[in-house]
Chains A and B, each alone.
Chain A
Amino acid sequence: MSLFGTTSGFGTSGTSMFGSTSTDNHNPMKDIEVTSSPDDSIGCLSFSPPTLPGNFLIAGSWANDVRCWEVQDSGQTIPKAQQMHTGPVLDVCWSDDGSKVFTASCDKTAKMWDLNSNQAIQIAQHDAPVKTIHWIKAPNYSCVMTGSWDKTLKFWDTRSSNPMMVLQLPERCYCADVIYPMAVVATAERGLIVYQLENQPSEFRRIESPLKHQHRCVAIFKDKQNKPTGFALGSIEGRVAIHYINPPNPAKDNFTFKCHRSNGTNTSAPQDIYAVNGIAFHPVHGTLATVGSDGRFSFWDKDARTKLKTSEQLDQPISACCFNHNGNIFAYASSYDWSKASALLVTPHLAVTVDTAWRRELTRKETGQSRWESCAGRPTSVAATFGLTPCSSRQTPKWPGNAVLCVLVCELLQSPLPSRGPTEPCAPDPCEGRLCLSWAWTRRCLGGIG
């Protein structure tokens, strides 16, 4: 009996984390894979703002690096640049003019990366890993907001090494989002605080958490007048809460919904519940996307309170997601999010299957686009403890298991739907098919509903 509950995922076929058969399930949606993905789990993704022509994608990973790609309209991704931190990168964001990228890392610093000169300088310092970083552009000031596990929220003028302001949080900052003039910070112990950023950042309200478990991710949404009006909060319990700040009817307007669970509405069998790792709102349609530890991403319409679409299950959890500025491109990162705490704690018989599952080495020669790297060496002493035979190891131990992830980009169309009825999924055209399928259903899903 696994410590983490019985899951059908660890089936006997065991070629993937989620127990599918031997087909390669790392990209079931046939979306575009980004070339030269980072070597370790991706913690954060961010697309460039509209002020920059073209689409640039930044990803921070647990391999201590931040990478930048240019994503072209055809879907081609071109790696552009890379910067390193001394610790895993937990959050990235762009400045509003698209010239700088801010990165927050476990080495307790945040850096500002000037893309033109490809220089990165440190702009922030905390006493504990910096978990969130956001750029705030107000009419009378602009600054970088960093939230950290040292329970503080600091605001930095990039030119000075002292913070402009320090706000105390009740607990460690777990996630945050900023759309001027509103900022939301979710902390440990189910803390939830809303800040207003006009004039200077100040605490607006502390909200009692609508969720029962640990907060994992938060995203602000806007109303029809493009003003931030509420936020979506995801927890580790496969649930997302939609919360309006000043709704006319709180009990009816605020609601929660379950997602990323294995059994859907069938409540008879015990469900597998997965954490919601990221939430992103479509900048134009206002629909939201959630990605979870179950390896799926889903699109939802919060006004109609319906689920629009769920993807096929990938063989790894999806750890981050992001829309580009006009909503044409949705990027998601498939990589281990540590949701099982460690591969090594699984009981031996399960561990073996997992072990073999994660030892795949795959080189995609036909597309030449990406390369999966095999799992890293597991320290032999530990493996012996669990009765496992050490897998073939590389010299540099990384997280045992599939250290890699790939960033997949699927392109969405923005044109309005011809009809809202269910349509047949189109057959993927083998050659350019990768793009077709995602166009078709995402067009159905994301455009024009409501």
Chain B
Amino acid sequence: MTICQFFLQGRCRFGDRCWNEHPGAGGAGGGRQQQPSGSNRRGWNTTSQRYSSVIQPSSFSKSTPWGGSRDQEKPSFSSFDSGASTSRNRGFGLSQNPFASPSSDAQKDDKKLLEGIIKDMEIWESSGQWMFSVYSPMKKKPNISGFTDISPEELRLEYHNFLTSNNLQSYLNSLQQLINQWRNRINELKSLNTSTNIALLSDVKDGVNQAAPAFGFGSTQAVTFGSPGFPVNNSSSANAQNFSFKPRSGFASAPSGSPPVFGNTPAFGAASSASSAITTSVPSFGFGKPAVTSAASFSFKSPAASGFGSPGFSGFPASMAAGSFGTPGAPAFGSGTSMAGFGSLGSHSHTAFSKSSSDTFGNSSISTSLPVSNGSTTTDNELFTPRDQLTAEELEQFQSKKFTLGKIPLKPPPAELVNI
């Protein structure tokens, strides 16, 4: 039977009497909260989700955009294991859904997501709520990159420590930097243009892949998102950027053990005197968390590292990346005076940081840096290809400064070519 177009849009006049097929109606009609049936997995889950979002449970949260309706969508998201969801996302271009345009479903979801994000950003900015918090557009989705989590107590402790060393000014400076960074990120998210859109969507979607494993499926996930990504993405140009950089982000995070190179962590630690509390809390203060920095560092480093500056970057000059990548090296093992130096570069590296993370294609959020880094140690073969397995053309592509469209290799680059 043909699929009913109106049903897909949620407005079929005939309902059960309709002569066309209403996919997922059985699953959606019965228990919206239950797992969609197996046949829904292919891609109609999005349909049933949208359908179910019409139902508004009478709960506290009816005025929120995501409280009530998303409750319905949650089970469908979380009920997927990683494999299925991967195929769902990547399979849109394939023949699994020969019927109506699955991309329109995805687009609608994306659009809602983006609108939700914009709205949330506006609320966040105007409401005066605590700004140093991570954010995710929907419950059970991973965090969007570019936000760091600092609790008020941590900030206050920093303040106290700076106070004892009589260095209040540096506290204020660092605070100001954090605030500026946050503001930049919020403004970026509010004014979404196409490239940030794509990055954000892949952010979130990859997150969906990773959502379940975010807390430790680890190695298996690293493999799955690496490999199926390649052949499938060849078809859709929109995803081209995603795929080409995701694998990079995969292994650039492998050396996640070097957060200080990123240069932000010591900024605070340096200024303080003997207080050991600072040095240990340094990793957690500011952008210094190793998990964050590795996520950030892989978004940051990947362009600098592999030198494939522009395609994902939309105007973010590769030289800037290189430049700001280089400078953190200086204060990385900070002396006391580096604070001032850092402050002046600070704006660069901060904006650079925030920009790159937003443009980062495949910067599959902070929580995934953990599984990926786990994965990378154990599954190095899948993340990098040994040099001998590459054709000459692929090798040349990897070695050049930029990829040329149409010749982008489908395999990950060899470990040696990835500049860490």
Contact = CB atoms under 8 A, between A and B. Distances in A.
A116 interface: no
A188 B128 contact: no
B169 to A, nearest CB: 7
A212 B155 CA distance: 21
B136 A212 contact: yes
Contact of A271 (B33, B123, B131, B176): B123
Interface string B102-119: 000000000000000000
A34 interface: no
A257 B129 contact: no
A344 B156 contact: no
A382 B129 contact: no
A255 B129 contact: no
Interface in B79-127: 120, 123-127
A206 B120 contact: no
B123 A270 contact: yes
Interface in B154-180: 154-157, 159-160, 163, 166, 168-169, 171-172, 175-176, 179
A275 B130 contact: yes
B216 interface: yes
B206 to A, nearest CB: 15
Contacts of B75: 250-251
B129 A131 contact: no
Nearest to B76: A251
B402 interface: no
Given A213-B134, A251-B32, A345 B176 contact: yes
Interface string B126-142: 11111111111111100
B289 interface: yes
A88 B154 contact: no
A271 B127 contact: yes
B169 A381 contact: yes
B59 interface: yes
Contact of B143 (A6, A62, A190): A190
B257 to A, nearest CB: 15
B157 A129 contact: yes
A400 to B, nearest CB: 10
Chain B at the A interface: SS class: helix
B410 to A, nearest CB: 32
Contacts of B154: 129, 149, 172
B138 A382 contact: no
A23 to B, nearest CB: 24
Interface in B360-418: 366-367, 370
Contacts of A342: 155, 159, 171-172, 175
A210 interface: yes
Nearest to A397: B163
B179 A345 contact: yes
B157 A208 contact: no
A170 B152 CA distance: 19
Nearest to B281: A128
Contacts of A90: 153
B128 A129 contact: no
Contact of B133 (A7, A208, A236, A254): A236
Mostly, the A contact residues are loop
A150 interface: yes
Contacts of B171: 342
A267 B67 CA distance: 15
Interface in A164-185: 170-172, 174
A176 to B, nearest CB: 13
A344 B57 CA distance: 44
Contacts of B159: 338, 342, 399
Contacts of A212: 66, 120, 135-139
A236 B133 CA distance: 8
B60 A256 contact: yes
Contacts of A193: 215
A270 B127 contact: yes
Given A214-B149, A255-B71, A342-B175, A106 B127 contact: no
Contacts of B160: 62, 88, 106
Contacts of B60: 255-258, 305
Given A88-B160, A107-B277, A236-B129, 15 more contacts: A62-B160, A88-B156, A189-B143, A190-B149, A212-B136, A214-B132, A237-B129, A237-B133, A250-B74, A252-B57, A261-B127, A339-B130, A341-B152, A379-B168, A399-B159
26 contacts: A2-B128, A3-B179, A4-B131, A5-B126, A6-B128, A87-B277, A108-B277, A127-B280, A129-B154, A129-B277, A129-B281, A149-B154, A170-B367, A189-B292, A190-B134, A209-B136, A212-B139, A214-B151, A237-B129, A251-B72, A252-B59, A255-B61, A267-B63, A272-B128, A338-B152, A338-B156
Task: Report, nearest first, the 5 A-B pairs whose CB atoms are least far apart.
Answer: A214-B133, A5-B128, A257-B60, A273-B127, A251-B33
